Structure 1
Amino acid sequence: MDKTYQPQDIEQRWYQHWEQSGYFAPKGEGKPYCIMIPPPNVTGTLHMGHGFNQMVIDTLIRYHRMKGDKTLYQPGTDHAGIATQMVVERQLLAQGVTRHDLGREKFLEKVWEWKGQSGDTINRQLRRLGTTPDWSRERFTMDEGLSEAVREVFVRLHEEGLIYRGKRLVNWDTVLHTAVSDLEVVSEEENGNMWHFRYPLADAAGNATDEFLIVATTRPETMLGDSAVAVNPKDERYQHLIGKNVVLPLVGRLIPVVGDDYADPEKGTGCVKITPAHDFNDYQVGKRHNLPLINIFTIDACINEVSPEKYQGLERFAARKQIVADMDALGLLDKIEDHKLMVPRGDRSGTVIEPYLTDQWYVDLTRETLDDGRPGGKTAIAQPAIDVVASGEVRFIPGNWVNTYNHWMNNLDDWCISRQLWWGHRIPAWYDDAGNVYVARSEAEVRSKYNLPADLALRQDEDVLDTWFSSALWPFSTLGWPNVDDEALKAFYPTQMLMTGFDIIFFWVARMIMFGKKFMGDVPFRDVYIHGLVKDADGQKMSKSKGNVLDPLDIIDGIDLEALVAKRTSGMMQPQLAAKIDKATRKQFPDGITPHGTDALRMTFASFATAGRDIRFDMQRLEGYRNFCNKLWNAARYVLMQCEEQDTGLDDTLPVELSAADRWIISLLQQTEAEVADHIDNYRFDLAAKAMYEFAWHEYCDWYLELTKPILGKANDNQAAKRGTRRTLVRVLEAALRLMHPIMPFITEEIWQNIKGLAGVSGDSIMLQPYPVADTALVDQAALAEIEWVKAFIMGIRRIRSEMDIKPGQVLDVLLQNWSDTDKALFTTSEAFARTLAKVGNVTWLEAGADAPESATALVGEMQILIPLAGLIDKDAEIARLSKEIEKLQKNLGGLEGRLNNPAFADKAPAAVLEQTRKQADEQRAALGQLVGQLEKIRAL
């Protein structure tokens, strides 16, 4: 092994070996275990959230593969309709070309070209993260096999009456000219206005009177499509007007006053204008009162021909200004108020989303088809998806996310599945010139199914399906469905676990459950692991505009400062923001980001992996796990130094003697193996990582390696004991490497390859070795108690050395007071450890009541360790040293307390900064108290 750990020298080499050797494919006769990759969009690169996600999934895959399960990690990517089309359109626009210039067929060729490039980038990144999917089974949502599944599902649902075409209100992106899902709409609070308009009441002849109803609106332009004014039927001010009409200003149309609970008497005037074709709430009111749906917009959100000629062709916000001016000129503008409102914008285009009435395709989720008396009005697609979660057939981790799932499922609306795009699965429906609609898997099947003449002209629907439609089929379409005899489908469906974010519980999770139950008769997965967001160390969401985005590959490989600054500021249109991010980046990473390797990153993610909680990614924690890798590396080099070309107990005919330290570390290994397996089985990767770390660093590296030195030293000629210790050294290390491999695959493989022969193990790769299983018969309680006593004894003496600034190599005479027979027996059996590691000289066992000189003291249980200080230290020099340290601490503590007592800091500082300052003050206070105590003790000599 090299002297220093260099992850870049081992990671890609081992990954290539694993992949080329075919280790990722399912093998063996064990029980099937499958996880589907949450398919990344082919629109860019992987971010920190993906890195965390992949760590959890790959840990489970490697763990179950080592347990002997027939394990499949199914890879693939999603075509990401809107996002991908926009990327390619922007590239074309930079060349002065639109998709319409190219035409549909040529444009799609360009998208496929781009998909090939982007998909390759994502797969390279997944490999760098150490993930082990079966790449031979890679899928893409628009592969022919998956496209066949999409057509099959669409046709079957249509034949059952569960897919229909209808005119309804949708979120309309006026730039992209397509319906978008709620997930693609970002609503944020913005400053706006509330306009109050007077609507004249009409007399019996339909003429305007001098009486008015005052309505308030944030969207004056929509008044051109008003169908009614609503008042609450319990509002005594307006009860007498229900059933009467008002004259819609500027339009002259009579619209009724309707009574509806949607109107809140406590808000505004209690009168609400109702525009069913341009507001989702109004749409529901319109349905209840059978109001006309009047669409006043074109697809560009310009006023259409339905409205008065004066406004036709005006863009919606220009129309707003004109309408307000005209209402004011007519004396019908009552007042204008400043108003904060939530404005919905398309997450891709940035434009304000318009509720828009248009023909779309829908999956029927709300029509009641059940006859067993259950309430809810859910179709045979939706209700079973509610039932399987209620019964525990599908489990959410953490369990509180069931409430979010149920909220969505109990407030369903029919699912709009059509999109006005070119990139995606084209809807398998054809039209003739008379407008008749025919649904089938192909045009040939249409003609056969509907007995149409060969000369009847047909045109296929121009729309494509919502990306979530094909994603909903992912757990079974990737396994070969609709070929129900596919061996992979039989073996691996249902899968074991899905890992995803909380924001797509309805959009993806619920729909996979619906379609899985509908078409496979079983749930698509047993467990749903909901992860939080990966944020920066201050708890801020990572975003380019904040300049706090971290790229997992930059952490793995390192990046210099100038490249990092350029990366974070690239494409920014605002010079001031770019300058701010430049400055912050240089302050945060003055030397850039040094390479940390994949294993350190994966271990860091694991340490944060508590289900459902957001992750504050701390570079200091990452640095700590980089040091952990170094610690493992150096420990392995020590083991090789002690064991290479030496007897490691492989010959069973030779005697082997295990020391208390050997039996202790073997016992701890069993306990750790049981603990880690339990934590992984319960998705507590944070606790699994903690248990691995504590065992490997603190017990094996810090203590056991030190405890082996007295036995393996030249002064000891007990060959059976040396043989036992060498055997324990390599076998415990080999087992620990297998234990840690699922989280830290590369370093464990490299070390394992170097020590496997010494441990009597053969095999091509650690990833094909069995995962360690605890053997409680190997737990030696006496050894555990003995070594814990030894550790306490050694640490007590080391603490005194540290507090009194005594040199580590100086041999110390020790007095022992208040000891028991057990203490004396333990010291006798472990004397070599105590004398070697604590540098103990003469040991005096004081009888009860015997006087002792002024000493530094430590406790081991009830027993006191006394180290007489007279003559051991330079009293005057030590007093001077401690006084200087105390003065420094007092100054630092005063500064911290001054900040905490300053209202300007205490009331305004971020919570994380405030907590860190309090923590520092507490630490300084404790250290100060300790030093003052030491100073008093020295002065008393």
Structure 2
Amino acid sequence: MDKTYEPHAIESRWYAFWEERSYFAPSGQGTPYCIMIPPPNVTGTLHMGHAFQDTIMDALTRYHRMKGHDSLWQPGTDHAGIATQMVVERQLAGEGRTRHDLGRDAFIERVWTWKAESGGTITRQLRRMGASVDWTRERFTMDDGLSAAVREVFVRLYEEGLIYRGQRLVNWDPVLHTAVSDLEVVSAEESGFMWHIRYPLAEGGGDLIVATTRPETMLGDTAVAVHPDDERYKHLIGLHAVLPLTGRNIPIIADEYVDPTFGTGCVKITPAHDFNDYAVGQRHRLPLINIFTPSARINDNAPEAYRGLDRFEARRHIIGDLEEQGLLEETRPHKLMVPRGDRSHAVIEPLLTDQWYVKTGPLAGPAIAAVKTGKIKFIPENWEKTYFDWLNRIEDWCISRQIWWGHRIPAWYDAEGKVYVGRDEAEVRAKHRLSPEVTLEQDADVLDTWFSSALWPFSTLGWPENTEALKTFYPTSVLVTGFDIIFFWVARMIMMGLKFMGDVPFREVYIHGLVRDQDGNKMSKSKGNVLDPLDIIDGVNLNDLVAKRTSGLMQPQMAPKIEKDTRKQFPAGIHAHGTDALRFTFAALATTGRDIVFDMGRVEGYRNFCNKLWNAARYVLMNTEGKDTGLNGGAIELSQADRWILARLQRTIDEVNAAVQGYRLDQMAQAIYEFTWNEFCDWYLELSKPVLTDPASSEAAQRGARRTLVRTLETLLRLLHPLMPFITEEIWQRVAPLAGVAGDSIMLQSYPEADRTLVDDAAVADIEWLQQFLLGVRRIRAEMNIAPGKPLPVLLRHGSSDDRQRLERQRRALITLGRLETIDWLDDHAPVPEAATALVGGMNILIPMAGLIDKTAEIARLDKEIAKLRKEEERGAAKLGNADFLGRAPATVVEKERTRLAELQTAIVKLEEQRTRIRQM
């Protein structure tokens, strides 16, 4: 093996090796195990959320594959209707053209061309993460098979009356000219105003003052509402107000929706331009007056003076006219939540349009029952409440979008506007016996991307055909996803799976948290705190990192601050860490359901863990390659250390298996880390040295040590493989033959199961005694500032017969590992020399200090160190006593300061205790 661990030298080579040999394909043997990848957008690139989620899915898949299950991780990408269309439209804009210049068919062809040339970025990046998906089964939501499934579902739902076309209020993007889902709307607090407007009473006698943040929509008002119990306005209920600037009389109604304490307690009702007002309008049968065009300009339903104006331009004119007419009572600054399209960044407008809808009520009942009866289990269980809350309040699903890229709605219209639904035009004509003379035009809209995604668990397996894959892998085993799409995707997959397959789409739903930055903030481009997983894997210089974080900002004025913060956080850029270190970091942070705070320091630590494993493997190979590891017969003698490490390995195997089965990858990672670093590397490798290097050791003992080294390491590599696939494969290829294990790849080996016959409690007790002995000596060295290599005389007293026996068994190891000069028993009644002491159970360890330290010099050193720490303690305490700091700093930063202060105080106490002990000698 190379002296230095270089991840780039091994990662691409091993991934190509696995993929070329089809190792990711199901074996066809064992119990089926299947995970469906949440299909990333074909326009997308790998972000931290993807990398985190893919690490979890790959670890589960590799684990179950090694467990002997018939494992499939199904890959694919989503056509991402709006996002993809925007990419290609931007290309056309650069050429001075629009999609309308090309026409629909030519534009769609252009999108397919782009997809073929540039749409595979994220799948290449998935390979970099080590994703063991079966690429031979890769699907795309617009491929022929999935498109056929989409049409089949649409037609069947329509024929059952579960799909209909109707006019309702939707989120409308006035730049993209399409309805968008709630998930594509980002609401954030912005500064605005609250305008108080006088609405004169039609019957005379004064006016009502209405408060609004959107005065332009008043042109579509059809009522003024007050709370039915509001004594201020009870006498006006049933009367009318005159709508300013229009002259229309509108009723004054009572509705419990109104909050009497907000504003003036009078609310303008615009049912065609506000979701809450729409509900009020339905209850009171109010007319719906749409005043906006698809571009959010004032249409002909408004007074002529405002027609054709952009909504915000109209706002300025309306405010001016109200002021001129003495109807503007007051203008106040006001913070409000503004909804913007996540693609166009335009303010979203609630708009009354004709759209296609799915009746979700009949589908929601079975979906609720599936979770209540335990057919589907949420992990953590608390997410069931979120699921139930949404399904119990579910509204019909708007599934049409006014764009060109996507699954075109399989509906046709004749000249009179009559609608016909079918799988294709030929079927429509045959079913309805339409002559060739009847002209039909297909609906121009496409389906919401989430419609095709809702079919993903069964459409990807070949439905509506009853394929072998469908029979084998449906229902799938587990869905791994974030909580933010429980409504948009998880619930809809469950509804569609139950409807069309008669069974749930998955048995378990593992909900993971979001990845946040080191201060606990959500990662976003606008904040400039995004990390690219490939930058962590490959490294990136500081200037390129700054350029990435400041390019394409919605608020360019933020660039200087983002650059400053980036240069402070990463003064040397980001070093290359490799995929395995990043994956292990994600696993170690994967507590169920909680958001994870990503700290680059953790990645550095796990990069060091890779180095530790690499160096341990080099030690094992140097001591076993070309030597007898017990494969050819011959006596085997296992030392207490050999038996101890084998026993500890069995406990670790049990802990790891239990952790994976409970979806606690953090506990899996911790158990493996502690065994590898603390027990195997720091203790067992050291304990093996006296046996392997001492000429007095028997051949049987050396053979036993070699066999234990290679077998423990080989098992450890298999245990670790689901989390760190690349480094484990590289090392395993060298170690496996020495351990007598045959096979082409570690990923096809069996996952370790604990062997109870290897648990030796006596050996464990012996080595734990040895560890306590050596740790006591090391603590004394550290506290007394004695050089690590200086041989020490050790005296023992008050030892039991067990202590005496253990000393004889472990004397050689203690002297070698502790760098001890002598170990002697001191009579319990003999005078005790001036010594530093430690305890192992009831046994005293004494190290005489005569000649070992200069008391005066050591006390002076401790005084200097204590003074230094006290200054740091004062600075920390002052910062935490600063109200301005506590008020402005993120909670995570404040907590770090508190932790640091506590650590300083603990260190000071320990140093003072050490100084006291030396003075008393």
Q: TM-score, normalised by structure 2?
A: 0.97
Which residue number corresponds to residue 447 of structure 1?
429
Match for 1:469 among 451, 455, 470?
451
Q: Is 2:140–2:146's contact at 8 Å kept on the other side of the alignment? A: yes
Once residues 886 and 322 of structure 1 are traced to their aligned partners in structure 2, the CA distance between those partners, rounded to angstroms, is 71
- Work out whether 1:817 is the aligned partner of 2:812: no
What does the per-residue CA deviation read over 1:516-562, in whole Å, with 9 as the maximum and x for residues that have no partner? 00001111111111111111111122222333211111111111222
Aligned-residue offset at 1:382: 1.1
* Change beyond 3 A, Cα 1:453–1:698: same
Match for 2:571 among 590, 597, 607?
590
CA RMSD of aligned residues (A): 1.7
Which residue number corresponds to residue 665 of structure 1?
645
Match for 1:730 among 696, 699, 710?
710
467-476 vs 220-229, greater mean Cα deviation: 220-229
Q: Is 1:710–1:716's contact at 8 Å kept on the other side of the alignment? A: no
Which residue number corresponds to residue 202 of structure 2?
202
- Work out whether 1:679 is the aligned partner of 2:659: yes
> % of aligned pairs identical?
66
Q: Is 1:74–1:138's contact at 8 Å kept on the other side of the alignment? A: yes
Q: Is 1:647–1:723's contact at 8 Å kept on the other side of the alignment? A: yes
- Work out whether 1:79 is the aligned partner of 2:74: no
Aligned-residue offset at 1:450: 1.1
Aligned-residue offset at 1:465: 0.4
Aligned-residue offset at 1:304: 1.2
Aligned-residue offset at 1:157: 0.3
* Change beyond 3 A, Cα 1:388–1:410: same
Aligned-residue offset at 1:805: 2.3
- Work out whether 1:799 is the aligned partner of 2:794: no
Which residue number corresponds to residue 374 of structure 1?
none
Q: Is 2:815–2:822's contact at 8 Å kept on the other side of the alignment? A: no
Q: Is 1:77–1:119's contact at 8 Å kept on the other side of the alignment? A: no
Match for 2:490 among 474, 485, 509?
509
* Change beyond 3 A, Cα 1:277–1:879: closer
Which residue number corresponds to residue 517 of structure 2?
536
- Work out whether 1:189 is the aligned partner of 2:189: yes
Q: Which one-letter code corresponds to 2:208 in the other structure?
A: L
Aligned-residue offset at 1:286: 1.4
What does the per-residue CA deviation read over 1:56-102, in whole Å, with 9 as the maximum and x for residues that have no partner? 00000000000000000000000111111112111211221111111
Once residues 416 and 575 of structure 1 are traced to their aligned partners in structure 2, the CA distance between those partners, rounded to angstroms, is 35
- Work out whether 1:391 is the aligned partner of 2:391: no
- Work out whether 1:457 is the aligned partner of 2:439: yes
What does the per-residue CA deviation read over 1:299-335, in whole Å, with 9 as the maximum and x for residues that have no partner? 1111111222222212212222222222333333333
Once residues 883 and 270 of structure 1 are traced to their aligned partners in structure 2, the CA distance between those partners, rounded to angstroms, is 70
- Work out whether 1:835 is the aligned partner of 2:815: yes
Aligned residue runs from structure 1 range 240-255, under 5 A: 240-255=235-250
Which residue number corresponds to residue 865 of structure 2?
885
What does the per-residue CA deviation read over 1:847-886, in whole Å, with 9 as the maximum and x for residues that have no partner? 3343201101111112110001012223444344333333
Once residues 258 and 853 of structure 2 are traced to their aligned partners in structure 1, the CA distance between those partners, rounded to angstroms, is 86
Which residue number corresponds to residue 92 of structure 2?
92
Once residues 906 and 579 of structure 1 are traced to their aligned partners in structure 2, the CA distance between those partners, rounded to angstroms, is 25
- Work out whether 1:555 is the aligned partner of 2:536: yes
Q: For structure 2, list consecutive stretches of 5 or more residues without a partner in the other structure.
A: none
What does the per-residue CA deviation read over 1:892-928, in whole Å, with 9 as the maximum and x for residues that have no partner? 3333334334444455443333332332333333333
Which residue number corresponds to residue 369 of structure 1?
none
Match for 1:413 among 395, 402, 406?
395
Q: Is 2:42–2:120's contact at 8 Å kept on the other side of the alignment? A: no
Secondary structure of the 2:739 match is: coil
Q: TM-score, normalised by structure 1?
A: 0.95
869-878 vs 500-509, greater mean Cα deviation: 869-878
Aligned-residue offset at 1:153: 0.4
Secondary structure of the 2:526 match is: helix
Which residue number corresponds to residue 370 of structure 1?
none
Q: Which one-letter code corresponds to 1:608 in the other structure?
A: L
Once residues 47 and 202 of structure 2 are traced to their aligned partners in structure 1, the CA distance between those partners, rounded to angstroms, is 61
Q: Is 1:28–1:68's contact at 8 Å kept on the other side of the alignment? A: no
Which residue number corresponds to residue 872 of structure 1?
852
- Work out whether 1:564 is the aligned partner of 2:558: no
Q: How many residues align?
A: 921
Q: Is 2:185–2:342's contact at 8 Å kept on the other side of the alignment? A: yes
Match for 1:330 among 319, 325, 332?
325
* Change beyond 3 A, Cα 1:237–1:916: closer
Aligned-residue offset at 1:16: 0.4
Aligned-residue offset at 1:571: 3.5
Aligned-residue offset at 1:139: 0.4
Which residue number corresponds to residue 405 of structure 2?
423
Which residue number corresponds to residue 106 of structure 2?
106
Structure 1 stretches of at least 4 aligned residues deviating more than 6 Å after TM superposition: none
Aligned-residue offset at 1:683: 0.5
Q: Which one-letter code corresponds to 1:568 in the other structure?
A: R
Once residues 259 and 806 of structure 1 are traced to their aligned partners in structure 2, the CA distance between those partners, rounded to angstroms, is 85
Q: Which one-letter code corresponds to 2:443 in the other structure?
A: D
* Change beyond 3 A, Cα 1:22–1:632: same
Secondary structure of the 2:119 match is: helix
Q: Is 1:792–1:860's contact at 8 Å kept on the other side of the alignment? A: yes
Secondary structure of the 2:196 match is: strand
Once residues 266 and 236 of structure 2 are traced to their aligned partners in structure 1, the CA distance between those partners, rounded to angstroms, is 11
Which residue number corresponds to residue 372 of structure 1?
none
* Change beyond 3 A, Cα 1:563–1:216: closer
Secondary structure of the 1:189 match is: strand
Once residues 521 and 103 of structure 1 are traced to their aligned partners in structure 2, the CA distance between those partners, rounded to angstroms, is 41
912-921 vs 99-108, greater mean Cα deviation: 912-921
Once residues 733 and 767 of structure 1 are traced to their aligned partners in structure 2, the CA distance between those partners, rounded to angstroms, is 15
Which residue number corresponds to residue 603 of structure 2?
622
Once residues 817 and 43 of structure 1 are traced to their aligned partners in structure 2, the CA distance between those partners, rounded to angstroms, is 73
Once residues 573 and 29 of structure 1 are traced to their aligned partners in structure 2, the CA distance between those partners, rounded to angstroms, is 52
What does the per-residue CA deviation read over 1:793-835, in whole Å, with 9 as the maximum and x for residues that have no partner? 1111112122222222322221112211111111122222112
- Work out whether 1:315 is the aligned partner of 2:310: yes
Once residues 272 and 838 of structure 2 are traced to their aligned partners in structure 1, the CA distance between those partners, rounded to angstroms, is 81
Which residue number corresponds to residue 371 of structure 1?
none
What does the per-residue CA deviation read over 1:257-315, in whole Å, with 9 as the maximum and x for residues that have no partner? 22322233333333322211111111111111222111111111111112222222122
Once residues 188 and 339 of structure 1 are traced to their aligned partners in structure 2, the CA distance between those partners, rounded to angstroms, is 14
Which residue number corresponds to residue 9 of structure 2?
9
Once residues 296 and 517 of structure 2 are traced to their aligned partners in structure 1, the CA distance between those partners, rounded to angstroms, is 39
What does the per-residue CA deviation read over 1:624-646, in whole Å, with 9 as the maximum and x for residues that have no partner? 11111111111111111111111
Once residues 136 and 908 of structure 1 are traced to their aligned partners in structure 2, the CA distance between those partners, rounded to angstroms, is 52
Q: Which one-letter code corresponds to 1:893 in the other structure?
A: E
Aligned-residue offset at 1:891: 3.3
Which residue number corresponds to residue 132 of structure 1?
132
Once residues 414 and 902 of structure 1 are traced to their aligned partners in structure 2, the CA distance between those partners, rounded to angstroms, is 53
Aligned residue runs from structure 1 range 282-361, under 5 A: 282-361=277-356
Match for 1:400 among 369, 372, 382?
382
Once residues 133 and 815 of structure 2 are traced to their aligned partners in structure 1, the CA distance between those partners, rounded to angstroms, is 52
Q: Is 1:816–1:845's contact at 8 Å kept on the other side of the alignment? A: yes
